[in-house]
Amino acid sequence: MITINPFVDNVFNIPLLAMQGFLILMVVFTVGGVLLDMMHKKNVKFFFENAKKAKLSATTSVPTGKKVSIVVKTLAHDVATSAEFCGVTRRITHLLGMYGTIAFWVASAILIFSSATASAIWPMVWHIGAIMTCVGGYWFWFIQRVDVRSEGNGWSRVVFADLFVLSLVLTSTFGLLWSYFQSSNSTGLAMLFFIMFVISNVVLFGGVYWSKFAHMFYKPGAAIQKHLAKADGSRDDLPEPADLPKQYGLGIKRSEPQNY
């Protein structure tokens, strides 16, 4: 199963051209949803205004070379390794989901658009990426969600903000089940999970405007702005950090924080 391209000779015998059109439509949904989100929440306008404000209150002029260095370090550390998460398990969960999803999406595009010339490794990347997303997503959903862990709500409680993580995990889950039953010639179940796979994709990419999908595009910008503000002394109008744990003792570190 893991070495088979599930998009070739699929259960409905859908031509690759139709699948390519569907993938392009999902890209259009994503771009359109992010743009609508930007227009509604005015995130980009906020970032630009905040940058101008920080420039006026800066105490140090940061050279262009250092700015580039800060951007590169932020992308390599904060973004690529999810350094914003203090807890190790939460960080691992996020990394599994992030890199698993990237591998799953990239492999999907290659398997659909270059199925005849694609290397045999790409079906493996597709399946392993889906598995990574499922492990990270379900780990987060059942154990690490803030409202479940700290507020005592049940894992089955679903709110509108959960649209992104649920549709993301279900897309990978249905994709794996479709591939498994298709490779085992269980046509009925393969058809069922293929349909669910398509629906979950439509929900995931068509729901960008209402979900937290667009949030992942803003986070790198916010992290870069934070480090630039620290470098030029503006600090987003925040005071210098005080080393209070050292002054008052390290008892605060004896137990893992449960409230957020």
- pLDDT of 108: 94
- Lowest-confidence pick of 48-57, 99-108, 193-202: 48-57
Q: How far apart are CA 33 and CA 36, in angstroms?
A: 5
Average pLDDT score over residue span 194-199: 96
Name the residue with higher pLDDT: 59 or 93.
93
Tens digit of each residue's pLDDT (9 = 90 or more) over 131-175: 999 999 998 888 777 655 556 666 677 777 778 889 999 999 999
The closest of 165, 147, 35, 32 to 100, measured between CA atoms, is: 165
The pTM for the full model equals: 0.79
Provide the residue ranges of all domains of the chain, joining segments of one domain with +.
Answer: 16-149+158-233
Q: Which DSSP state fits 162?
A: G
Place of tokens 């658009």: 113
Q: How confident is the model at residue 127 (pLDDT cuts 50, 70, 90)?
A: very high
Q: Which helix (H) or strand (E) holds 191?
A: helix 187-206
- Give the torsion through C-alpha atoms of 88, 92, 98, 103, to 10 deg: 150
Query: What is the arithmetic mean of pLDDT over 23-48?
Result: 82
**Mean pLDDT for the stretch of residues 34-45:** 76
DSSP assignment letter at 207: T
Least confident of 21-25, 145-149, 225-229: 145-149
pLDDT value of residue 118: 76
> At 128, is the pLDDT very low, low, confident or very high (cuts 50, 70, 90)?
very high
pLDDT band at 260 (very low <50, low <70, confident <90, very high): very low
Distance (Å, rounded) from C-alpha 3 to C-alpha 10?
Answer: 15
Q: Please report which confidence band the pLDDT of residue 245 belongs to, taking 50, 70 and 90 as the band edges.
A: low
Task: Look at residue 192 and tell me whether its pLDDT is greater than 60.
Answer: yes
pLDDT of residue 175: 95
In this prediction, residue 125 carries a pLDDT of 95
User: By three-state DSSP, how is residue 216 classified?
Assistant: helix
User: For residues 125 and 144, which has the higher predicted lDDT (pLDDT)?
Assistant: 125
Q: Say how many CA atoms lie within 13 Å of 234 toward its Cβ.
A: 18
Tokens 């350094």 belong to: 83
Q: Give the per-residue pLDDT at 246.
A: 55
**Spatial contact of 108 and 24, defined as CB atoms under 8 Å apart:** no
In terms of pLDDT, which residue wins out, 25 or 71?
25
Cβ(163)–Cβ(203) below 8 Å: yes
- The count of residues in the chain is 260
Q: What is the mean pLDDT of residues 174-179?
A: 96
